[in-house]
Chain A
């Protein structure tokens, strides 16, 4: 139906978005790739030279890289488990008839709109503080020894904070998927004598599979680059116990000015994210056909 004339017009309309994104992707990425093969420190200008894979070798043989890689995996894995399990349960609960359903929904999704620096500082100080924090008070009320969260369990604390931010996202999306579940199907199943558990595992969960996968992939992409929460709470410490890949590269580039090494790290991060991205793109692409 589209005529030649409208196709030319369409191309012109798309050009700015496509060209800008292309530039935004290609220019910095090729610069990162180029830098990653250079010995290049901002503190020693004019001393750059080509070193081949030296940066990568240093990066991979550096224990803090492996620590950061594992911290990244724990962080992503921990937050995913909490938000997916919690989000599914919460969505099932909110799908029931409730008094004041709209208000409860608002309460549950609110954390998603809190900027990362605020949630991290509020949790760090007012909730997790070992002496004056709310949790410390709760612990003492119930007769436990208060936990110094960010000193004793730094990575767990970060996982809790980030999970609190992402739980609403998982809940909201799973709830949306839940509400599109065909009521007739449920009724047919219950007429056939399906109990609540077999109903959940044979009808509801398969229906949610797609939404859960989408949540998992999107969260992974964002969680791989958690940054602000770490910066304002632990600054990567104690030691390297809360340094993830993003934070390690930030230290290397903007604090130690080692452009070459940071770039090699950046390329590693890009490759990791791409592995996740391929799966997400497949799912979204399949949806586009439908």
Chain B
């Protein structure tokens, strides 16, 4: 039952919405535009919007001077690695909780959520010291361990809410037809669970990619991901706006695109299923 809406009203609302949308998006757009300017045009007053000599020079300089691709691959390794390790641990757990729940399942889930509430800074000192003693500082393995652990509760929760939506009747039917546990998992449940797992994967890569407390405190050079790479622009290089913009564009572009594809899952994942 659609409400009858006058075209004039729709046009007015559209103009307001587009204006606000563009204002909110402006910092990103501005970064993108600035990345194609020379350093001189980047700081020009009044600012130049579209009519300047577009150049790709900054992108080459960023790669040459600070080795963008190494940081990029560090980000990939830690974000994708931690998400995959997290999924390997979480899929069986979420599976068990969704398909053979006990009286304590709810308590376990709530407890897992509560570990997410632990502020990182409360365990910064011991983690730092343990990592120092086990030689995990500034290593990929160290970063993957931390990112896996901080996102594990979210992964379990998201998977749990997805798995719970798989109807139990289908399992019954498969069992009636004589499917064993192996067939049940392989041919019945896995195909139905794949979309949920994919969404969880996507959201967690985004979260791990943008994590900026542990990545800044536990890495220096060898395993430093893009968050740390950009942070290195805070002083003196911050003066070079065009290069900062090029580096920033490269750092956020992949995740922005992934994020746009996963908006729906974002809501569910970040509210632990409380808002769907």
Partner-B contacts on A (CB < 8 A): 2, 6-7, 9-11, 13-14, 16-18, 20-21, 24-25, 27-29, 31-32, 35, 90, 93-94, 96-101, 103-119, 121-127, 131-132, 134, 136-137, 141, 164, 167-169, 172-173, 176-177, 180, 183-184, 187, 210-211, 214-215, 218, 221, 224-225, 227-228, 231-233, 245-246, 249-250, 253-254, 259, 262-263, 265-267, 269-270, 272-274, 276-277, 280-281, 283-285, 287-288
Least CB distance from A196 to B in Å reads: 12
- State which of A21, A119, A132, A168 has its C-beta within 8 Å of the C-beta of B27: A119
Chain A residues with CB under 8 Å of B259's CB are 109-110, 112-113
Chain B residues with CB under 8 Å of A122's CB are 27, 30-31, 244-245, 248
Chain A residues with CB under 8 Å of B125's CB are 31-32, 35, 253, 259, 262-263, 266
Judge whether A32 and B227 touch: CB under 8 Å.
no
Offer 28 A-B interface pairs, CB within 8 angstroms, sorted by A.
Answer: A2-B100, A2-B101, A2-B102, A9-B100, A14-B93, A17-B92, A17-B152, A21-B115, A24-B115, A28-B123, A96-B10, A100-B18, A101-B17, A104-B17, A104-B18, A115-B226, A126-B42, A126-B244, A132-B241, A137-B46, A227-B120, A227-B216, A228-B231, A245-B121, A262-B125, A272-B119, A280-B117, A285-B110
Chain A residues with CB under 8 Å of B110's CB are 281, 284-285, 288
| Bound complex: CA A114 to CA B230 (Å) | 12
Once A253-B125, A263-B125 are accepted as A-B contacts, the answer to whether A116 and B271 lie under 8 Å apart by CB is no
Q: Does B166 contact A (CB under 8 A)?
A: no
| Bound complex: CA A88 to CA B247 (Å) | 33
Chain B residues with CB under 8 Å of A231's CB are 216, 231, 234
Chain B 236-276, CB within 8 Å of chain A: the 1/0 string? Answer: 00100100110010011001101110010011001111111
Closest to B92 in A: A13
Q: Does B50 contact A (CB under 8 A)?
A: no
- State which of A104, A137, A232, A272 has its C-beta within 8 Å of the C-beta of B234: A232
Please give me the 9 A-B residue pairs with the lowest Cβ-Cβ distance, nearest first: A277-B117, A113-B259, A31-B126, A13-B92, A228-B212, A10-B96, A28-B123, A17-B93, A107-B21
- State which of A17, A131, A288 has its C-beta within 8 Å of the C-beta of B90: A17
Judge whether B266 and A172 touch: CB under 8 Å.
yes
Q: Does B222 contact A (CB under 8 A)?
A: no
Once A110-B28, A132-B45 are accepted as A-B contacts, the answer to whether A93 and B16 lie under 8 Å apart by CB is yes
Chain A residues with CB under 8 Å of B156's CB are 17
Q: Does B186 contact A (CB under 8 A)?
A: no
Chain B residues with CB under 8 Å of A13's CB are 92-93, 95-96
Once A100-B14, A123-B27, A263-B125 are accepted as A-B contacts, the answer to whether A269 and B119 lie under 8 Å apart by CB is yes
Judge whether B118 and A273 touch: CB under 8 Å.
yes
- State which of B10, B206, B272 has its C-beta within 8 Å of the C-beta of A97: B10
- State which of A137, A215, A221 has its C-beta within 8 Å of the C-beta of B117: A221
Which B21-52 residues have a C-beta within 8 angstroms of A?
A: 21-22, 24-25, 27-28, 30-31, 34, 42-47
- State which of B10, B100, B227 has its C-beta within 8 Å of the C-beta of A116: B227
The majority secondary structure among interface residues of chain B is helix
Judge whether B248 and A18 touch: CB under 8 Å.
no
| Bound complex: CA A263 to CA B238 (Å) | 33
A-B contact count (CB 8 A): 317
Q: Does B72 contact A (CB under 8 A)?
A: no
Judge whether A98 and B17 touch: CB under 8 Å.
yes
Most buried by B among A24, A108, A269: A24
| Bound complex: CA A29 to CA B109 (Å) | 20
Q: How many residues of B contact A (CB 8 A)?
A: 100
| Bound complex: CA A27 to CA B123 (Å) | 9
Q: Does B198 contact A (CB under 8 A)?
A: no
- State which of A18, A254, A281 has its C-beta within 8 Å of the C-beta of B217: A254
Q: Other CB < 8 Å A-B pairs besides A97-B10, A176-B275, 8 of them?
A: A28-B123, A29-B122, A93-B20, A96-B13, A121-B234, A184-B1, A246-B120, A285-B110
Judge whether B10 and A32 touch: CB under 8 Å.
no
Chain A residues with CB under 8 Å of B234's CB are 117, 121, 231-233
Judge whether A113 and B123 touch: CB under 8 Å.
no
Once A121-B234, A283-B274, A284-B274 are accepted as A-B contacts, the answer to whether A99 and B10 lie under 8 Å apart by CB is yes
- State which of A121, A214, A284 has its C-beta within 8 Å of the C-beta of B113: A284
Least CB distance from A148 to B in Å reads: 15
Judge whether A29 and B118 touch: CB under 8 Å.
yes
Least CB distance from A219 to B in Å reads: 10
| Bound complex: CA A16 to CA B93 (Å) | 8
| Bound complex: CA A276 to CA B118 (Å) | 11
Q: Does B153 contact A (CB under 8 A)?
A: yes
Judge whether B121 and A274 touch: CB under 8 Å.
no
Judge whether A164 and B275 touch: CB under 8 Å.
no
Judge whether B102 and A7 touch: CB under 8 Å.
yes
- State which of A118, A269, A270 has its C-beta within 8 Å of the C-beta of B252: A118
- State which of A14, A94, A253 has its C-beta within 8 Å of the C-beta of B97: A14
